[in-house]
Structure 1
């Protein structure tokens, strides 16, 4: 499947654009908070579309091409899940209301897809012209794998890369959102809302992720059509996946180790391929090195196995359970205090906060003791309870059972 006709390319691009437009007009045009059932249903639909496409590739182009597509899709999807951690921090740091997050994510993903397409064709051109690029891609992945292993836990600080800094400087925005509008009026003047800024931040940050993901997928296949479609399908379902596994993201405490192993595997595969195609003068006098090759089928099996082990170990880990409850409680308290203004949804958030506090009580004492020592977390929970008590006194929200419990009680004191 080295050559794909122009008609196939055209139909594929039109299909992907059609899915993006369908998502915009039927899902995110009207701001709403997707239910768990809605997110699960549409995640299943987008995954099914990708699987059917991969089956079509296998039928019409052969088993090798099908294996390359599935290996690329699974790898890109796994890397996308890691990206969701950063999206979560960005949306929280920009205080985007929950109902408006869908549109932000969709626009950011569309921007990222266009930028990644450019990277894909650039990467293909480099590979076709210079065999040594495989060495560079392999080293990039090995360095990235090492950086993932050096990370200490999940970073609570939102990313502040050059794209975000430039956007903040160039886009003068109002202090508050106006629904999901990009423009509003402030002091009689038409100004940008923070909505455009956060869209740029999401799209720009995801473009930086492409510096890792594009070399990774080129390590599994050099077929530009497969690279493009695997990347596109992994991004298309990312918005729905965000709302589906939002509560589980913090639970995947060992995901970075699994991704590091996958990137290291692909990095080694790329370097072995580079040795096989070697023409660099100072390596083996420019002659090919007949090194062992890692087949695509073996790569796919190893990648899937690593992901399964990573997810299972993370879900069974007491550390993962504690981290999940604490992160969820922190997020719900922040939403309740600083982000959401809709009274009905505020009540729902506070109820979720109480549930997480009850779960924290079920943790072993060593974890609860650590939480009691976190003054910022205890203060955050305390402010959330005080604000809720004020709203109850004013008749602005209901009083759920257990709402009067003190934050220190959540840690088991």
Structure 2
């Protein structure tokens, strides 16, 4: 896939333009989006991502098109899991609903920046060290285990990192609109809004660790990795308000993601065996007998896993009523307290 610097510049510029438009058109004036507004923009961004994928397939071949769609599905699923943690953070900090859009927007931009850095680092490592596939594969298998068995065990708003931040920064007790700092009695304090943004930035960093190795297990094309991540994050703010109540019902999402991460981890290890150069493994020779998992199978497996996890979750929670995002997180926190 031959991507020129000009194509990269245009892609990054268009991505930035979308987020700038989002801020000035929807986020700058605090308000809680309606279901209709959220549904329209969610459909727009998902449709745009699908059209882009078709364009990749038509212009560069359907091998790359399949890699894009597999990557987009994986990143979208991981982003929804990320969204659920955002929900818990904002509920823990009692962020007023009219300011939640701004917090989400900042969190999504931080996520895109961090993933951009990880994408560049990952591309450099892959191009210079074939053994990195072993490391990425092992990392994903560990993350898959944690995703399946340790999901939701701690509140990121009250972890060690946030307690450390509270110790070093003077924090006011109340929100002051959407301001990050406030001056009281001649002394400058940070507001809970700044703590929320710091917490979400920390969450983004953690999620980038499993997000980027996962998609590099599906494609080695940095352009596909970036665009799949960008499209997965676009519209995530609207999706939060659209499916806030549904998030509480996706009880098998963590297990579904664990299966996907484990599958990609195995795929990475098999690929590492094919390009093996480590002298203490098979004498430094590639193990061409190891099976390579084709992209069509990866796409089918990821799509099926997400569908099964979603349907099973909705069946499991069929008797639950629809609740708002804050109520959903509160219910989740209560469930964890009883476990």
Counterpart pick for 1:254 among 252, 255, 270: 252
Structure 1 equivalent of residue 263 of structure 2:
265
Is 1:53 the counterpart of 2:55? The answer is no
In the alignment, is the contact (CA less than 8 A) between 2:156 and 2:199 conserved in 1?
Answer: no
SS of 2:179 mapped into structure 1: coil
Structure 1 equivalent of residue 39 of structure 2:
40
Structure 2 equivalent of residue 300 of structure 1:
299
Structure 2 equivalent of residue 65 of structure 1:
64
In the alignment, is the contact (CA less than 8 A) between 2:83 and 2:240 conserved in 1?
Answer: yes
Give, in whole Å, the separation in 1 of the partners of 2:162 and 2:223.
Answer: 31
Distance 1:170 1:58, change over 3 A: farther
Give the 5 Å matches for 1:90-239.
90-151=89-150, 154-155=152-153, 157-161=155-159, 163-239=161-237
In the alignment, is the contact (CA less than 8 A) between 1:167 and 1:201 conserved in 2?
Answer: no
SS of 2:94 mapped into structure 1: coil
Give the 5 Å matches for 1:353-392.
none
Moved more, 8-17 or 184-193: 184-193
Structure 2 equivalent of residue 360 of structure 1:
none
Structure 2 equivalent of residue 280 of structure 1:
278
Give, in whole Å, the separation in 2 of the partners of 1:73 and 1:330.
Answer: 24
Give, in whole Å, the separation in 1 of the partners of 2:157 and 2:192.
Answer: 17
Q: Write out per-residue CA displacement over residues 205-245 of structure 1, whole angstroms, 9 at most, x where no aligned residue.
A: 11111100100000000100110111111112211111111
* Structure with the greater alpha carbon radius of gyration: 1
Distance 1:304 1:330, change over 3 A: closer
Aligned residues: 334
In the alignment, is the contact (CA less than 8 A) between 2:89 and 2:155 conserved in 1?
Answer: no
Give the 5 Å matches for 1:298-377.
298-317=297-316, 320-321=317-318, 325=321, 328=323, 331-332=326-327
Give, in whole Å, the separation in 1 of the partners of 2:57 and 2:114.
Answer: 28
SS of 2:248 mapped into structure 1: helix
TM value normalised by structure 1: 0.76
Give, in whole Å, the separation in 2 of the partners of 1:333 and 1:306.
Answer: 24
Q: Write out per-residue CA displacement over residues 275-296 of structure 1, whole angstroms, 9 at most, x where no aligned residue.
A: 0000111110110001111011
Distance 1:211 1:185, change over 3 A: same
Compute the RMSD of aligned alpha carbons.
2.4
Give, in whole Å, the separation in 2 of the partners of 1:329 and 1:52.
Answer: 31
**What displacement does 1:303 show?**
0.5
SS of 1:251 mapped into structure 2: coil
Structure 2 equivalent of residue 339 of structure 1:
none
5+ residue gaps, structure 1: 336-355, 357-370, 378-413
In the alignment, is the contact (CA less than 8 A) between 2:92 and 2:157 conserved in 1?
Answer: no
Distance 1:66 1:329, change over 3 A: closer
Higher relative contact order, structure no. (Cα contacts within 8 Å, ≥ 6 residues apart): 2
Give, in whole Å, the separation in 2 of the partners of 1:315 and 1:334.
Answer: 17
In the alignment, is the contact (CA less than 8 A) between 1:82 and 1:255 conserved in 2?
Answer: yes
5+ residue gaps, structure 2: none
Q: Write out per-residue CA displacement over residues 97-149 of structure 1, whole angstroms, 9 at most, x where no aligned residue.
A: 01100001101111121111111111111111111100010011111111222
Moved more, 307-316 or 189-198: 189-198
Give, in whole Å, the separation in 1 of the partners of 2:12 and 2:140.
Answer: 28
TM value normalised by structure 2: 0.92
In the alignment, is the contact (CA less than 8 A) between 2:93 and 2:157 conserved in 1?
Answer: no
Give, in whole Å, the separation in 2 of the partners of 1:165 and 1:45.
Answer: 39
Give, in whole Å, the separation in 2 of the partners of 1:256 and 1:15.
Answer: 32
